[in-house]
Amino acid sequence: MDPIIKIHDLRIRYGSGEDVLKGINVEIYPGQIIGYIGPNGAGKSTTVKIILGILDNYRGKIEIFGNDISVDKISYKRRIGYVPETAEIYDNLTAYEYLTFLGEVYGMEIETVENKAKKLMGLFGIEEHFYDRISSYSKGMKQKLLIISSLLHNPDILFLDEPLSGLDANSVMVFKEILSSLAKEGKTIFYSSHIMEVVEKISHRILLLNNGQIVADGTFEELKEKSREGSLEEIFNQLTGFHKHREIADEFIKTLKEEV
Ligand SMILES: Nc1ncnc2c1ncn2[C@@H]1O[C@H](COP(=O)(O)OP(=O)(O)OP(=O)(O)O)[C@@H](O)[C@H]1O
């Protein structure tokens, strides 16, 4: 089977600073849920922004669906979906307006989008807000809308950045089931998150990025075996060389108590 995403020696820097990504090499195959984890500032969002074509001043080569994204910059985007960590949703629009607008951008029939969008909103329990302005939505409702908008055009690859943010426990269960079914259908899911318990459970393969380099790549079981740690949180702490949580917390509390 050919990789659906192929990243070769990917490097990038912002301005004149040092490289933020320092030579990433990864091949990802269809039907995999990839947990992409790493400390704050490691370069996860940067990687995704490059793949999405938002940043293009990178070095190295990225092939999606077998094509170099620096050559054909547009057509692969029809087949990918994205849930950003923080989104600028057009607050003044209703969900109906927003989703049908997006559907049209993807070349879908307006009636098909309307029916599909309404049904998907219903499955997430927010159908009665379909014609309400997004500005009136709660955080979780907006997140559900983002998830729906990323999937509306039935993409083959889905990029998710902290997608459970704001979702209630019932919706989290539904969404995890959806992800696992999508993967079974052969869709590829690139899942970035700091919630290690979830990444540990849903990922077929985990990539740990530290300081712009992949420092671990394997199934949870493989990483566990190698590091001799019990949970992904512990593996993460070990591989990023972090052992000082108690010291830092103590220092934090001490500082809070200091007289000014
Ligand atoms: N627009 C920018 N201009 C300058 N530096 C940036 C910019 N965006 C990101 N960086 C830097 O690039 C590095 C990687 O950032 P990135 O957002 O990719 O990290 P991340 O792994 O997604 O972090 P987090 O877990 O906090 O979301 C950081 O050092 C950050 O300061």
Structure tokens that stand for 133 in this block: 């302005």
Q: Is the CB of 155 under 6 A from ligand 1?
A: no
Q: Is the CB of 6 under 6 A from ligand 1?
A: no
To which residue do tokens 């849920």 refer? 33
Q: Is the CB of 41 under 6 A from ligand 1?
A: yes
Closest CA to 52 of 210, 192, 195: 192
Side chain identity, residue 44: K
pTM, entire model = 0.92
To which residue do tokens 């200091």 refer? 258
Q: Write the DSSP assignment of 161-172 as a string of letters.
A: ESTTTT--HHHH
- Percent share of the chain, pLDDT over 70: 100
Tell me what ipTM this predicted complex has.
0.98
Give yes or no for residue 9 having a pLDDT over 90: yes
Give the Cα separation of 193 and 214 in Å (integer).
16
Q: Is 182 helix (H, G, I), strand (E, B) or coil?
A: helix
Strands 213-218 and 33-37: unpaired
Ligand 1 centroid – CA 191 distance (Å): 17
Q: Is the CB of 38 under 6 A from ligand 1?
A: yes
Q: Is the dihedral of CA 121, 122, 126, 131 positive or negative?
A: positive
Residue nearest to atom 30 of ligand 1 (CA): 41
- Best of 16, 44, 85, 213 for a ligand 1 pocket test (most atoms within 8 Å of beta carbon): 44
Q: Is the CB of 55 under 6 A from ligand 1?
A: no
H-run or E-run covering 187: none
41-94 pLDDT, tens digit per residue, is 999 999 999 999 999 999 999 999 999 999 988 899 999 999 988 777 788 999
Give the Cα separation of 58 and 62 in Å (integer).
10
Q: Kindly give, in sequence order, each residue whose CB lies less than 8 Å from that of residue 42, ignoring residues fewer than 6 positions away.
A: 209, 210, 211, 212
